[in-house]
């Protein structure tokens, strides 16, 4: 029976999937699973042999990110907005649905708020009904423009509640509040990941984030646009490290928020120089107008993740950027109308 299942129904076009028996196989819902981070998580959980359901409204996600699983018996995709209630039966929920890059989340601020508040209530309500564990993808933006450096989970943050970034920052803060309200009141089993800047293949080409912008500009021989003086800092983690961290958090017994990020901090100017040298060629760099409420420093304190999840990032910036540049080289060719095999 097993043999015919493994060799018969699953066609050779799919990557090899581990076999899970009925005791170990989990039914996992990933909201925002067609997006950048979500699709990498889909891959990892599918390869482990779990049943994965993606729910996505394709605002910033793409079917292409998960199309290699279409037709696989363990995989399902639902085209739906999480602001409307969703009824499925699952054991775990990775709740990632939300635009993540500033231009995307500012595109329709009210929608961003609804997704992270009403959408999160729906996913918590779902988790409550079916008794599922739920992990909420929060963000380092809950710390705002931080006065404490590096940022540890005990810092309450410094967010401008009426600024252009507030629709995202405050909605994620309410998202966290909702998780702990359900945990206290409904005994829900919650996990909260505060994710710091993440990059890698499948980032949206036009998402306006610094990594995609700089790489694409360098590949196209365009001027690299540094906002402000470029002395603001960020710390970038590669997507596979984040996926490992999210899974470690889900599988741990730790219920308070946990920072997931790479503590290696660079100024944006340093970062532009690193990308220029990795892509090669001569690129001009231009300092443009600073963006409003841009956090000036950001670096995660990851002691909690190390202690409770035994997790720390493994992929170096050079290694991660090389893979990302490889990905964008093909994407840029495609979008410029070249045939890529
Ligand atoms: P992404 O934009 O690539 O993915 C988000 C996905 O959610 C997309 O597929 C999008 O279509 C979907 N989505 C958005 N609104 C939805 C809605 N109302 N209903 C259903 N689906 C919806 O972004 P990402 O970088 O993969 O981010 C994933 C999560 O991680 C987000 O919650 C984000 O806030 C968080 N996060 C990401 C970063 C980062 O650097 N990438 C940093 C901090 C936090
Ligand atoms: N909900 C959902 N799927 C479910 C269960 C609930 O989308 O399987 C939604 C439900 O529509 C409600 C929200 O989650 O709007 C919160 O549910 P909860 O049970 O906490 O609240 P109530 O329904 O009592 O308002
Ligand atoms: N940034 C930049 N040029 C760009 C895009 C971004 O200088 O083309 C800067 C931006 O002002 C911020 C940092 O890079 O200081 C990171 O921006 P991103 O939008 O990637 O993420 P976030 O601000 O959410 O951390």
Q: What is the pLDDT of residue 341?
A: 66
Per-residue pLDDT band at 5 (split at 50, 70, 90)? very low
Q: How confident is the model over 239-258, as pLDDT tens digits?
A: 999 999 999 999 999 999 99
Per-residue pLDDT band at 273 (split at 50, 70, 90)? very high
CA 126 to chain centre: 21
Q: How far apart are CA 227 and CA 287, in angstroms?
A: 6
Q: Best of 60, 199, 207, 227 to mutate for ligand 3, by most ligand atoms within 8 A of CB?
A: 227
Q: How far apart are CA 79 and CA 50, in angstroms?
A: 20
Q: How far apart are CA 289 and CA 321, in angstroms?
A: 26
Q: How confident is the model over 222-242, as pLDDT tens digits?
A: 999 999 999 999 999 999 999
The reply to whether ligand 3 has any atom less than 6 angstroms from the CB of 31 is: no
Q: Best of 38, 143, 206 to mutate for ligand 1, by most ligand atoms within 8 A of CB?
A: 38
Omega of the bond leading into 175 within 30 degrees of 0 (cis): no
Question: How many Å lie between the centroid of ligand 1 and the Cα of residue 35?
Answer: 6
* Secondary structure E strands in the chain: 27-31, 51-56, 75-79, 92-95, 133-139, 190-195, 198-199, 224-227, 233-235, 237-238, 258-260, 265-267, 285-288
Q: How confident is the model over 108-133, as pLDDT tens digits?
A: 999 999 999 999 999 999 999 999 99
4 pLDDT above the threshold of 50: no
Q: Among residues of the chain, what percentage have pLDDT more than 90? A: 90
pTM recorded for the entire structure: 0.95
Q: Among residues of the chain, what percentage have pLDDT more than 70? A: 96
The reply to whether ligand 2 has any atom less than 6 angstroms from the CB of 125 is: yes
93 pLDDT above the threshold of 50: yes
| 292-306 mean pLDDT | 96
Q: What is the pLDDT of residue 10?
A: 47
Copy the structure tokens of residue 240: 């596979």
Is ipTM strictly over 0.95?
A: yes
Tell me what the pLDDT averaged over the chain comes to: 94
Q: How far apart are CA 96 and CA 100, in angstroms?
A: 9
DSSP per-residue codes, 3-65 = HHIIIIIS-TTSPP-----TTT--EEEEETTTSHHHHHHHHHHHHTT-EEEEEE--SS--GGG
Q: What is the pLDDT of residue 159?
A: 97
Protein residue closest via CA to atom 23 of ligand 2: 125
| 124-147 mean pLDDT | 98
Q: How far apart are CA 313 and CA 249, in angstroms?
A: 14
> What are the C-alpha distances in Å from 149 to residues 234, 296, 297, 299?
12, 11, 8, 7
140 pLDDT above the threshold of 50: yes
302 pLDDT above the threshold of 60: yes
Per-residue pLDDT band at 338 (split at 50, 70, 90)? confident
Q: How far apart are CA 292 and CA 200, in angstroms?
A: 26
Q: What is the pLDDT of residue 12?
A: 58
């Amino acid at each position: 029976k097993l043999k015919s299942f493994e060799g018969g129904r699953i066609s050779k076009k799919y990557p090899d999937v581990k076999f899970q028996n009925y005791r170990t196989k989990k039914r996992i819902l990933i909201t925002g699973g067609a997006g950048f981070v979500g699709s990498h998580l889909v891959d990892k959980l599918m390869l482990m042999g779990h049943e994965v359901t993606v729910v996505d409204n394709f605002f910033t996600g793409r079917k292409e990110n998960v199309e290699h699983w279409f037709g696989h018996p363990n995989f399902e995709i639902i085209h739906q907005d999480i602001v409307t209630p969703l009824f499925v039966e699952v054991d775990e929920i990775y709740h990632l649905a939300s635009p993540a890059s500033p231009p995307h989340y500012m595109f329709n601020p009210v929608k961003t708020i609804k997704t992270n508040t009403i959408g999160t209530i729906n996913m918590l309500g779902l988790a409550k009904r079916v008794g599922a564990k739920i992990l909420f993808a929060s963000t380092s933006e809950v710390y705002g423009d931080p006065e404490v450096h590096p940022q540890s989970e005990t810092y309450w943050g410094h967010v401008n509640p009426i600024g252009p970034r507030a629709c995202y920052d405050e909605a994620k803060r309410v998202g966290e509040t909702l998780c702990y309200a359900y945990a206290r009141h409904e005994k829900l089993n919650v996990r909260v990941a505060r994710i710091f800047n993440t990059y890698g293949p499948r980032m949206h080409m036009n998402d306006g984030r610094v990594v995609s912008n700089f790489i694409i500009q360098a590949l196209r021989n365009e001027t690299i646009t540094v906002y402000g003086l470029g002395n603001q800092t960020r710390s970038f983690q590669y997507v596979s490290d984040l996926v490992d961290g999210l899974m470690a958090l889900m599988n741990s017994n730790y219920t308070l928020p946990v920072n997931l990020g790479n503590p290696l901090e660079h100024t944006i100017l340093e970062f532009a120089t690193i990308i220029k040298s990795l892509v090669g060629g001569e690129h001009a760099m231009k300092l443009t107008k600073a963006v409003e409420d841009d956090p000036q420093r950001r670096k995660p304190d990851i002691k909690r993740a190390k202690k409770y999840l035994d997790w720390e990032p493994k992929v170096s910036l050079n290694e991660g950027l090389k893979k990302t540049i490889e990905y964008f080289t093909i994407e840029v060719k495609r979008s410029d109308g070249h045939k890529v095999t």
